[in-house]
Amino acid sequence: MDKTLNATLYVVGNINVDLIMSTLERWPQPGTETMLEHSELRPGGSAGNCALALAAMRVPHRAVANQGNDGFSAWLAGYFPDSAPGWPRYPCDTSLTIGVTHPDKERSFISNQGHIVRLSAGDVLEQMPAQARSGDIVLLCGTFLCTTLFDAYPTLLATLRRRGFRVAIDTGWPPQGWTVALRQQLTRWLGDCDYLLLNEVETLGFADSDSLAESASWLAQHLSGRGGCVVKRGADGAWFSTRQTRLHAPARRVEVVDTIGAGDSFNAGFLSALLCGESHATALLWGIEVAAHAISSSPRRYPDWHTLQQRMKES
């Protein structure tokens, strides 16, 4: 990275092992066996995917997580050499997700619980500075999967705010589904969140609305007022909504190979732009560019800093 930055992006949450299998045309009957053409074992999870993209771009960052104690633990930690020495170890299996892709490029996930459900607020705060430097951002990922951490969100977010961090959250989809009680629980701490980064169905589910524009506006109104709500729309690009305005950036046309982690890659690009002091409009473009690289490559690749800047000049 050419631009010298004093700010750091802290990526907090679910770093786990991903086993990607494709392509499954139909679910097999119980008791049968199906062979697929492609498989890939790689580090993943929402936080993991974002941190790997940041490493490729050489953006100052820290992956804040924990780890299990099995055969996968050292392998997974090896992909995050600058961060993993600070991860607390728990006597449990490493969290593993099997991602199965289908002919329409959609995917299904099957996960165990493993180490990520044990990540605590104490684990997170001990890996972070007591006082943020100017421009530091914290991204919380895998909200509903890191169950112990989720229970501590009100205290954790308030503490991060007092320490001077800008706070971004990508909740993901709740495995239990959106309920009235869950929406009320999340709404209580949205005021300590600056940036909310969701996909379309998450936005509609969170706001309990059939209108995407109204949902994004409603969520933006409940945030701190220092940022806004990002809606990641895949082939339709992305929105950024505040209490007063909405920006849109179109997607870049690419040949889609693997959509898993597309939103996490977008997060890396979008927040990197903010770390560099860029506008929200530019941040949308950065997010789309990083996601485009990710979904059009296998094995997964991310743009380095020079490639990213060249693409921005061409836009």
Q: Classify residue 71: in a domain, yes or no.
A: no
Which pLDDT belongs to residue 4? 60
More confident: 176 or 256? 176
Residue 297 identity (one-letter amino acid): S
Q: Classify residue 210: in a domain, yes or no.
A: yes
Instruction: Say if residue 151's pLDDT is above 90.
Output: yes
pLDDT 10s digits, 229-267 = 999 999 999 999 998 899 999 998 888 877 778 999 999
Q: Classify residue 131: in a domain, yes or no.
A: yes
Instruction: Say if residue 207's pLDDT is above 70.
Output: yes
Q: Classify residue 277: in a domain, yes or no.
A: yes
Number of structural domains, the chain? 1
- Residue written as token pair 């050419």: 2
The CATH number linked to 305 is 3.40.1190.20
Mean pLDDT of 191-213: 97
Q: Classify residue 90: in a domain, yes or no.
A: no
Q: Classify residue 253: in a domain, yes or no.
A: yes
Round the average pLDDT of the chain to a whole number and report it. 93
Query: At a CB cut-off of 8 Å and minimum separation 6, what does 164 contact?
Result: 131, 132, 136
Instruction: Say if residue 2's pLDDT is above 60.
Output: no
Which pLDDT belongs to residue 3? 61
Mean pLDDT of 95-116: 89
Which pLDDT belongs to residue 5? 74
Confidence band for 306, pLDDT divided at 50, 70 and 90: confident
Residue 93 gets which letter from DSSP? P
Q: Classify residue 110: in a domain, yes or no.
A: no
Cα distance between the two ends of the chain: 20
Beta strands in the chain (DSSP E): 9-12, 16-22, 38-44, 61-64, 96-101, 107-111, 137-141, 166-170, 195-199, 228-232, 238-241, 246-249
More confident: 29 or 305? 29
Instruction: Say if residue 113's pLDDT is above 90.
Output: yes
Ranking 2-6, 7-11, 13-17, 297-301 by mean pLDDT, the lowest is 2-6
Which pLDDT belongs to residue 87? 98
pLDDT 10s digits, 26-56 = 999 999 999 999 899 999 999 999 999 999 9
Confidence band for 307, pLDDT divided at 50, 70 and 90: confident
Q: Classify residue 187: in a domain, yes or no.
A: yes
Confidence band for 315, pLDDT divided at 50, 70 and 90: low
Which pLDDT belongs to residue 1? 62
Mean pLDDT of 212-237: 96
Question: Which residue range forms the structural domain that includes residue 306?
Answer: 9-13+45-66+117-314
Mean pLDDT of 264-278: 96
